[in-house]
A and B are shown apart, each in its own frame.
Chain A
Amino acid sequence: MDETYSILLAGLKATEESLALQHFSQSGHRMATAENVFDALDKLQGQRIDLVYFQASADSETVGEVEKIRRRFPALPIVLACSRLTEGLMLDAWRAGATDIIFFPLAPHALDASLQRSARQIAARESEPALPMPARFFFLDETGKECRVNIFPPRFTMGRSHGNDLILGQPGVSRAHAEVLVNNGEYLLRDLNSKQGTYLNGMRVEQKKLTNGDKVQLGGLQGIALVFHAGDLLQSLLSGSDPRSEISLSLHGFREVGMLFAAFRALSSIPILDDLLALVVDTAIEITAAERGFIMLKETSGDLSFRCARNDKKCTLDGSVFQTSQRVPFDVFSTGQPIFIKDLDLGDEHVDHSATRRLGLRSISCVPLQYFTVHDSDYLSRTEHAETIGVLYVDSSNVGSGSSHTRVEALNTLATEAAMAIYNARLYKDSQDKRRMDQQLATAHEIQQALLPDPERRLPYVHACSQNLPCHEVGGDYFDYFATAEKHFGFALGDVAGKGMSAALLASLIQGALSAQTLFDTPLPSMISNVNRILAQRGTGNRFVTFFFGTLDPDGNCTYINAGHNPPILLRPDGSMQELTVGGMVLGLFPDAEYEAGTVQLRPQDHLILFTDGVIEARNKADEEFGMDRLVSLLRDNARAAAPEILARLRDSVLAFASTAPQHDDITVMILGFQESQTGET
């Protein structure tokens, strides 16, 4: 056959899938696989596919699932793969939109024949125009995990029962609760006579057009909330732009949720209290479009103390000159109730705000930071045992542009999550102070380790382990492991210490970029340049982050980008080494910097050693550096050892070298072993 096609195998069982994969790849066709109809729809959206071989999840689901694909892709050839025993289903399948049928067990000649039959249709389809990106809903599932579902034309249904596009089991959701009709880029929300109603931005509706940032709730105002978004997902997920630029007000709803999600991810992993406080204040300022903000925390003495004041440029303000309303924060703290004043000029007969108005302030939002001793499993409900540990305050010389319900709710939710994180961070800090007396690196390290990602990861073809020796004065190196879209191994390491950018904030940006990348199949250089642009826009022109990101597949193909980081070392068992340098400059300085991906081939028993400059620059009492020479020679001597072994020897060597000299920088090492022998060498 001369023509080669892009073929998607969807829902096929393992043996059938391997057979088809092998047979078609031999003829040079470009193959992709999907696990089920939903995965297939995602893949079909993200890349050009000429032909789909589809097996339904069950016989009874065949018609519905084929219809789903057909509705979205009117001209795509769909070959239904099924068992001969279900001939009765064939007629329905034709009607549903399958263009061909093939029976199990799959045989090479049958596959070729079906390809021939579909060839004419594939050729006819070439002229079809590219379809626009679908809109989507964002929501949190029962476990609190962030979920995203695409809304495909012409009709997207939501409800409790099985045939819906989005199946929701929350209380108050009817079997066929609501739908979204898509026509010419317009999205119409319609309630389907549900029992408890469909709500849009807090109001019950029968039918209403959806705009960006709208919040849909099913089953009541306590019901499951879905945020509607249409437009460029990548830009929205990563957007850190000035809230007062010309963005339509309807976009703000989504931006608040997006910022909240980014903040949540960051909150769950920041151990450093000051970084955490700054992030919380910055996020609150962004959510409310305020000009300034601060946090006050209750000290052990019971007094409120002023902590972390920031402006809308993410700069720390001097607390001693930060003049503000005295009354509002203390009132919020003592009553545990939030205060939102949209316009101080409008006056309030109960409270005299003249002193505050004289300071030039116009609007104030202040919410309590409350820590709940019992966390209910239901995301939306709370217990009565609340302890107020402080307040979160923002103000502006402008009239408040948002006491929109979305903003208020976003601010309240941020405050709740922040209070929990602050509580945990303070526990960490208190114990850190105690241990500071002790000067034992090992104990401080234990605490830090508890807050970092699991340092060891094993896949069939790669063994990853890392060691982080934190230096409490400085801040934090960032490192993490990922699963890529193709379920390959991804790894990243970055030096953010002392750069005013917390490791956790970078982590949330990276994770956001990665999820957008896996959804839209963006290449690595674009992902990195997007992250760079965001950091550069938020930054002050003089702070940067060094970063290394790589992926490794089972065949040893490693693709990577080195953004100004100490080049990792590829160590071969014979002791030879190679540095991985390809990429681009450090992140966060020049918004238009360009990046290219490097590739390298790993062979069995090879190791990749990644490290931050704290290793090289570790000093002993004679003020000598550990240096690259010592590192290289240690690696050469241990080229045949297993990853954990190399890691342990390197760590011991650095500790022995530095001995009692103080540590000035985080030390992080990550070692990946590719296809180490099963017995593991010692």
Chain B
Amino acid sequence: MKIDIRTVRDVTILDCSGKITLGEETISLRNTAMSVLQGGAKKVLLNLAGITYIDSAGVGELVRTFVTAGNNGAKLKLLGLTGKLREVLTITKLLTVFEVFDNETAAVLSF
């Protein structure tokens, strides 16, 4: 999985593409999120539009990242849920945990 970091206004956006599965990818997501948060980011947007596949470990990591952000006084939101990812989050009833957006501008303005 590739993660690119950019900033729009004061929102840090993590563009993720590829798969999020148990192993390197979940570790990479965890590390990137941690370093961004430790760098002082208080507004983080996970752009998942490029994610082609996610397994339950990946979903678990998303939740953990969300909780960690909260513990660091930051807000984390999701952008661009693909069909499969949205479906998994719906079945597991975790969709309501997150604030989810389809449009980047709306997401950035919402913080």
Where the two chains meet, the residues of A that have a C-beta atom closer than 8 Å to any C-beta of B are: 495, 498-499, 540-544, 546, 563-567, 583-586, 589-590
Contact = CB atoms under 8 A, between A and B. Distances in A.
B93 to A, nearest CB: 4
A498 B92 contact: no
B60 interface: yes
A584 B93 CA distance: 6
Contacts of A566: 91
A583 to B, nearest CB: 7
Contacts of A541: 60, 63-64, 67-68
A583 B68 CA distance: 26
Contacts of A546: 91-92
Contacts of A542: 26, 57, 60-61, 63-64
B97 interface: yes
A9 to B, nearest CB: 41
Given A544-B60, A589-B60, A564 B92 contact: yes
B22 interface: yes
B101 to A, nearest CB: 21
Contact of A543 (B60, B67, B68): B60
Interface of B: 22, 26, 56-57, 59-61, 63-64, 67-68, 91-94, 96-97
Given A498-B22, A541-B67, A564 B60 contact: no
B99 to A, nearest CB: 16
A564 B93 contact: yes
B57 A586 contact: no
A585 B97 contact: yes
B64 A564 contact: no
Contacts of B22: 498
B56 A544 contact: yes
B83 to A, nearest CB: 13
A498 B63 contact: no
12 contacts: A498-B57, A541-B63, A542-B64, A543-B60, A544-B56, A546-B91, A564-B93, A567-B91, A583-B93, A585-B97, A589-B94, A590-B97
A585 B66 CA distance: 16
Nearest to B59: A544
A317 B70 CA distance: 29
* CB-CB nearest 8 A-B residue pairs: A542-B60, A564-B92, A542-B64, A585-B93, A541-B64, A586-B92, A564-B93, A543-B60
B63 A564 contact: no
A589 B91 contact: no
Which of A567, A583, A590 neighbours the largest number of chain B CB atoms within 10 Å of its CB? Answer: A590
A498 B96 CA distance: 25
A302 B67 CA distance: 48
Given A585-B96, A586-B92, 9 more contacts: A498-B56, A540-B64, A542-B60, A542-B63, A542-B64, A544-B63, A564-B93, A585-B92, A585-B93
Which of B56, B68, B96 neighbours the largest number of chain A CB atoms within 10 Å of its CB? Answer: B56
Given A498-B56, A542-B57, A543-B60, A585 B67 contact: no
Contact of B92 (A499, A540, A543, A544): A544
A566 B96 CA distance: 17
A519 B111 CA distance: 49
Contacts of A565: 91
Contacts of B96: 585
Contacts of B61: 542
A493 B25 CA distance: 29
A499 B56 contact: yes
Contacts of A586: 92-94
Contacts of B97: 585, 590
B61 to A, nearest CB: 5
Contacts of A495: 56
A479 B95 CA distance: 26
